[in-house]
Structure 1
Amino acid sequence: MLPGDARVGSERGHGLGLALVRSVAHAHGGTATATARPGGGLVVRVTLRGRG
């Protein structure tokens, strides 16, 4: 298996990683969104509040 293969068609996980990212982002006053790409995969965007 190549290093990047775990993200594509892996049977080892159940998507908990994105839930954790969202939870951490919310805990820090931010947001996390995931949008499906037409050709497959996701675009994940995490936005955190600035200190100012």
Structure 2
Amino acid sequence: MMLADEPNIRKTTAFPLNQNAQDLLMGAPSEVTEDRLKELHLSNRKPPRTKEH
């Protein structure tokens, strides 16, 4: 911001987010479909259960 001599940091951020940490142009964060996970060779697994005391 200071190097670019801009009064607002949002004008100097490469990927600006709104106040809810969302990128409105890319729609992120968003839900991922199973087809997209499969295309990227990823899986969504739950962590193993731990013993309760």
Q: Could you tell me the TM-score, scaled by structure 2's length?
A: 0.23
Higher RCO, 1 or 2 (CA under 8 Å, sep at least 6)? 1
Rg (Cα) greater in structure: 2
Which is strand-richer, 1 or 2? Answer: 1
* Higher helix residue share: 1
The TM-score normalised by the length of structure 1 is: 0.23
